[in-house]
Structure 1
Amino acid sequence: MRAVVYRGPREVTVEQVPDPEIQQPTDAIVRITTTNICGSDLHMYEGRTNVEDGKILGHENMGIVEEVGSAVGRIKAGDRVSVPFNIGCGACVNCESGWTSYCLRTNPVEGMDGAAYGYASMGPYDGGQAEFLRVPYADFNLLELPPGDEHENDFTMLSDIFPTGWHGTELAGQRPGDTVAVFGAGPVGLMAAHSAMLRGAAEVLVVDKEPDRLALAGKIGARPVDFAKGDPAQQIMDATGGRGADCGVEAVGYQAHDPAGEEHPELVLDKLVESVRSTGGIGVVGVYLPQDPGAVTEQAQQGRIPFEYGTFFSKGQHMGTGQCPVKRYNRHLRDLIIAGRATPSFLVSHELGLDQAAEGYERFDNRENGWTKVLLRP
């Protein structure tokens, strides 16, 4: 089959690789119909992780089941499915308590709980930027979708970014009527804004410096806050009469940049502490790593991100962090899509063939105007 393979910093190629096979009775093979390039894939693409040469990339996947193992009973060949990026066993204490993002059994990497497809340090699993994908524990992991091709561009967001955006608002403790500040108008930040409005926010303020992304935030009913025009925390304080947002979502991560392009890994955390009111919540779904050899400071290279913790403490704020447990949310979000309430496909800017993956990565990584969310069709 054809697959997108990592070959070094800013180098991905489409290569012929062996087809996946059933390895365990609980496996399924899915023929991929849509797979996405995720913003977190760019950390690997840029050489800012320890992803190995030859890794098949892709953790945002959906498609049609081609084959199932002998122990698979719920899922059958021909089913249209969404594949959560988390690989959960379904039986460990974390999976049983709803934290499939921290499965204790699926990742053999020492010191790392939780597994995923095609991602650095998340286990030996191939990704789905390919024609086919092996899915372990298929009965537990796969989400069934209505047959046909309706809502394809909406449903493809269910594997990661829509649940992750929702998770950010959940970690922040958002309640109906809250004013929500979202830092980052990339795909996850825009999904957090969409989620906040679905959850009954009175107002959503979205911070970024890219005009096309800010315009998209405005189109879905959020208030754009242009980082390039001044301190975003002060803009949020001014917009809320000096009170601050009730809660906030960090959707940027460890490669945060100021308007001049200088990297400051603590930048967004500091600005959220400043712009969220006392006792408010902060949900962090932007990626941070235990080590980042490419970071701009020695502390950050060791995964130590100093931020305004004293102010955070004195304001009595609370913070939730970590990768999204997709299965906790994806059924409900699927049904919101079917009902016409949620339309995450507003993000989609480009739909490319798999053979165009290298171009998609390069242009998305360059933050070219209008390259918001790239879908690949194998």
Structure 2
Amino acid sequence: MKAVVYYGPYDIRTETRPIPQIQSPSDVIIKVKYSGLCGTDLHSYRGHIKGPVDTIIGHEFLGTISEVGKDVTKFKVGDDVLSTFTIQCGQCWYCKHGYSGQCDVTNTFGKVGLDGGQAEYVRVPYAENTLIKKPSSNDGVDDSIYVLMADIFITGYFGVKKIRDFFAQKSAEGVAIQQARDTTILQIGAGPVGLCGLRILKHFGFEKVVVVDGVDSRLQEATKLGAYKTVNYITNPDDLAKIITNDTNNIGFDAVLECVGAKSAQRTAYEAVRRNGFISSLGMGHDELPFNGLECYLKNINISFGRCHAWSLFAEALEIFEQLKSDFTDFIDYKASIDDSKSAFELFDKQKVKKVVFDLTL
């Protein structure tokens, strides 16, 4: 089969590899139809983190089951399925309590020890706790849209849900401490995860969402998806401070959805959130935090980091995705053959395209 293999920073190659085989009774083999290129892939591509050398990459994919292990009863050959970006056992304490991202045996497709889905076939361990059948619909939306569900949509949902749940806490009188329509939110980052997060915020009734990014085309997409205001922090670096003064009475935002992970984004989140506010940080940070314990203590900051519990949230996120997916029909703006992996990565890295999907049906 053909597969995209990582060898080092900026060194991506399409190679011929053996078709994977069943290794465990809980495995299935999927013939991949569509596989996405995610912003997370760029961390190793750019050399920001150590990449999985000589490993097939990619953690966003869907396809048709071609082989099942003997313990698999929920699926059969020929089923069209979606996958989470992680594997999880479904049996450990974390899986049973809704924290599948911290499963005792979890791994991410395309990382060390687990080949990914930018290939014609992929082996899926713990299949009954990693896959879900693709919904049947006659809405005319191309199935490639479901690569968003593997990671970026559900990750956006994970971050937004934490904000929604925080402000939905009840007072002594049984009333939510703050209504969505009255909540001011700063969103840092309007890449694929950020745009999904923005649409989900709007779905939950959050009206005053200010989106910050440095790419005008992304901010234009944010406006189309319902952003209250947008700020290009590169060309208009003073605009955010003006919005805090004029739109929050200089108090700061009630919540921040941080979708970047860079120290500068995390520091902006800290400075922009009001006292006793909430920061939901989705960005994959690699550095020391740009604020210390005393700063958080004095400002009474509530902050949540971490990888999405994709399997635990998949069913509820998919239900919402089915309602919203038509808003993302132009989201995937570049479909590539798996043979064109090098150029696809280059275009995505240089932000010349929004979302790349490898079409394995070509």
Asked if these proteins are the same fold (TM beyond 0.5), I'd say yes
Encode CA deviations 1:120-173: one digit per residue, 9 max, x unaligned: xxx400000001111011112111112478451332211100010111123333
Distance 1:244 1:81, change over 3 A: same
Equivalent in the alignment of 2:114: 125
**Distance in 1 of aligned mates of 2:86 and 2:283:** 16
Structure 2: stretches of 5+ with no match in the other structure = 169-179
Equivalent in the alignment of 1:226: 232
TM-score by length of 2: 0.89
CA contact (8 A) 2:65 2:80 kept: yes
Equivalent in the alignment of 1:164: 155
Aligned with 1:221: secondary structure? coil
**Equivalent of residue 286 in structure 1, options 283, 286, 293:** 283
Encode CA deviations 1:256-306: one digit per residue, 9 max, x unaligned: xxxxxxxxxx211111112112211111110023xxxxxxxxxx4xxx233
Amino acid at match of 1:318: N
Distance 1:54 1:103, change over 3 A: same
Equivalent in the alignment of 2:345: 361
Greater shift, 331-340 or 80-89, is seen at 331-340
Aligned with 2:290: secondary structure? coil
Q: Answer yes or no: is 1:206 the counterpart of 2:211.
A: yes
Distance 1:202 1:309, change over 3 A: farther
Equivalent in the alignment of 1:197: 202
**Distance in 2 of aligned mates of 1:62 and 1:348:** 15
**Distance in 1 of aligned mates of 2:147 and 2:116:** 15
**Equivalent of residue 338 in structure 1, options 322, 328, 341:** 322
CA contact (8 A) 1:207 1:227 kept: yes
Aligned with 1:33: secondary structure? strand
**Distance in 2 of aligned mates of 1:321 and 1:232:** 27
Q: Answer yes or no: is 1:250 the counterpart of 2:258.
A: yes
Aligned-pair CA distance for 1:341: 6.8
Percent identity among equivalent residues? Answer: 32
**Distance in 2 of aligned mates of 1:231 and 1:55:** 44
CA contact (8 A) 2:95 2:312 kept: no
**Equivalent of residue 318 in structure 1, options 298, 302, 325:** 302
Distance 1:55 1:145, change over 3 A: same
Encode CA deviations 1:71-109: one digit per residue, 9 max, x unaligned: 0001111111111011101111111111111111x2xxx
Distance 1:231 1:310, change over 3 A: farther
**Distance in 1 of aligned mates of 2:81 and 2:325:** 20
**Distance in 1 of aligned mates of 2:325 and 2:35:** 23
Aligned with 1:182: secondary structure? strand
Q: How does 1:17-166 map to 2 (within 5 A)?
A: 17-104=17-104, 106=105, 114-119=106-111, 123-147=112-136, 150-166=141-157
Aligned-pair CA distance for 1:179: 2.0
Equivalent in the alignment of 2:335: 351
**Distance in 1 of aligned mates of 2:110 and 2:259:** 21
Amino acid at match of 1:39: G
Aligned with 1:305: secondary structure? coil
Aligned-pair CA distance for 1:187: 0.8
Aligned with 1:195: secondary structure? helix
Equivalent in the alignment of 1:268: 265
Equivalent in the alignment of 2:172: none
Encode CA deviations 1:311-344: one digit per residue, 9 max, x unaligned: 4332212001111011232222322233457634
Amino acid at match of 2:65: V
Distance 1:53 1:150, change over 3 A: same
Aligned residues, how many?
341
CA contact (8 A) 1:171 1:319 kept: no
**Distance in 2 of aligned mates of 1:10 and 1:43:** 11
CA contact (8 A) 1:165 1:189 kept: yes
**Distance in 1 of aligned mates of 2:197 and 2:269:** 15
**Equivalent of residue 328 in structure 1, options 312, 324, 328:** 312
TM-score by length of 1: 0.85
Amino acid at match of 2:160: T
CA contact (8 A) 2:61 2:83 kept: yes
**Distance in 2 of aligned mates of 1:115 and 1:174:** 32
Equivalent in the alignment of 1:7: 7
